[in-house]
Amino acid sequence: MMKRGRWMTRIGLGILAALAALGAVLWFRNPGRALLLALAIVAPLLQNWHPPAVADGQITTEDWGHWDAASRKLTAVLERRFPTGTNETGLKSTLFGQGFKPPPPPDCLPRGQPAPVGAYTPCYETSNILQYDWGHFPCRETITVRWTTGDNGEVTHINGSYHGACL
């Protein structure tokens, strides 16, 4: 078993050396193209490839395109995992630990400002939202968790939504 591990390590190092040599050649011929190649190789390695643990086994490939049904399943899982009365700090800690992040800042409407016709997001609602993205080009999947808290910092309501898109 030890010999196989060393053999696999040598192959990995050989591939890494070949990529480094190719990158050096490309860098001297065309630095811009070499940078794009490096980004194309490295970027997918830094992305999430699977759903978060809280949704693992709940969101499957069969859920693609059935966003409402999958979101209901996800909400049921979240309600069991974080029932009413759960401390918000524990909820956030668990989700952050699984790779959830705050969503990008939306074009939101400050509290007290008259609402325009159509859809909008109140700015104050974005503090209780965390999002997790995964997948690989050209498709991405997203889980968004929203919750409300009472005066004592305990969760009063939790909701999950699941969506995906391809270029």
Are 88 and 155 in contact by the 8 Å Cβ rule? The answer is yes
Q: Is residue 65 located within the same domain as residue 116? A: yes
Residues in the chain: 167
Q: How far apart are CA 130 and CA 141, in angstroms?
A: 14
What is the pLDDT at residue 130?
95
Domain total of the chain: 2
Model confidence band, residue 144 (pLDDT cutoffs 50, 70, 90)? very high
Q: Is residue 107 located within the same domain as residue 74? A: yes
What is the pLDDT at residue 111?
67
What is the pLDDT at residue 1?
45
Q: How far apart are CA 73 and CA 6, in angstroms?
A: 45
Please count the CA atoms within 13 angstroms of the CA of 18 that sit on its side-chain side: 6
What is the pLDDT at residue 28?
79
Q: Is residue 112 located within the same domain as residue 154? A: yes
Q: Is residue 78 located within the same domain as residue 152? A: yes
Whether this model's pTM surpasses 0.85: no
Q: Whole domain around residue 25: which residue ranges?
A: 2-46
pLDDT tens-place string over residues 1-19 = 445 445 556 666 677 677 7
What is the pLDDT at residue 70?
95
Q: Is residue 93 located within the same domain as residue 18? A: no
Q: Is residue 64 located within the same domain as residue 113? A: yes
Q: How far apart are CA 42 and CA 35, in angstroms?
A: 10
Q: Residue 155 pLDDT more than 90?
A: yes
